[in-house]
Amino acid sequence: MSKKIFDFLKLIRLNNLLIIVATQIFAYFFLTPSITIQHLIDTDFIKLLVSTFLVAGAGYIINDYMDVMLDLVNKPDKVIVGKSISRRWAMFLHLIMNLVAFLLAYSFNKKIAIMVLGASIFLWIYSQLLKKTFLSGNILVALLTAFTLWILFLFDPNIMKTGLWVYGVFSFLTTIIREIIKDTEDLSGDKKFKAKTLPIVLGIRKTKSILFWAQILLIILTISYCISFEALSISGQRVYFMFLVFMLILVILPMIYMAKLIHGADVKKDFTRLSFISKLVMLFGIISMVFWRF
């Protein structure tokens, strides 16, 4: 039983889900000075967090359900659906989690409930039709990642919209870069199943060029954000300096290092390393929200 629970937590990518929840908590609390700790334990906000957690977890389940054969080639040691958790149970868990997510959201905000339902449908479409298509699947995943922040617009009209847009765009761009990196990492397995991902259609060299210039664009936008941070937030000079140091060491320099690695990437392990670094960049970028409040 304990192994099945552990495998279920791996199946829903618990670490990723906790990052999503933490991102929503950070965005809600740090991007709006009027928000207090009391708001974070408000019943409706907790329902929002649980709804997002469940619909994202259900998305991971349906993704693995649809990709069993492909994953047996790309990552055979990590396949769970069809082994420790049956395909029937996986589909049942997917449906139940989506249903509970929708009902929770509906109990406090009908518009958010529609958004949650839409997210669950798009995650199914992605897993069924778009995952291994040319760029459209990458864009959809990036939009759904940004959606976890932008849904806060509907939850509380008092939240600082500028901050949500900034971090939503950051999440979108970092996610789409990482998704293309992952597609390149899985190139050999995807070819066997006649996928039409960016690296398969355009080739490694052109994909690396796209990744490189997308990374350069992200670096430029991040530096522009750093320059305008003091005007966007309510932080003073001292916090602004701390913010710049934080961003330079933990976000901008790793981005520059990624650009260098992209240029020289050749084998699968190079893209695996890039995927890991991009995840850290996104994490530290989100953590930088804390500087908005002080």
Q: Domain residues of the chain, as ranges? A: 1-130, 160-294
Least confident of 24-28, 234-238, 274-278: 234-238
- What pLDDT band is residue 76 in, cutting at 50, 70 and 90? low
**Rounded to two decimals, what is the model's pTM?**
0.89
Mean pLDDT of 229-251: 88
Which positions ≥6 away from 24 have C-beta within 8 Å? 48, 49, 52, 148, 149, 152
- What pLDDT band is residue 70 in, cutting at 50, 70 and 90? low
Least confident of 28-32, 70-74, 79-83: 70-74
Task: Tally the residues of the chain.
Answer: 294
117 CB-side CA count, 13 A: 12
- What pLDDT band is residue 233 in, cutting at 50, 70 and 90? confident
Q: Which ranges of the chain would DSSP assign to H, the alpha helix?
A: 2-11, 14-30, 37-40, 43-66, 68-74, 87-106, 110-125, 136-150, 152-155, 161-185, 187-192, 198-202, 204-232, 237-247, 253-264, 268-287
Residue 1, class by beta-carbon neighbours within 10 Å (0-12 exposed, 13-18 middle, 19+ buried)? exposed
Looking up tokens 């040319």 gives 134
Distance from C-alpha of 187 to C-alpha of 79, rounded to nearest angstrom: 18
CATH 1.20.120 is the classification of domain 160-294: yes
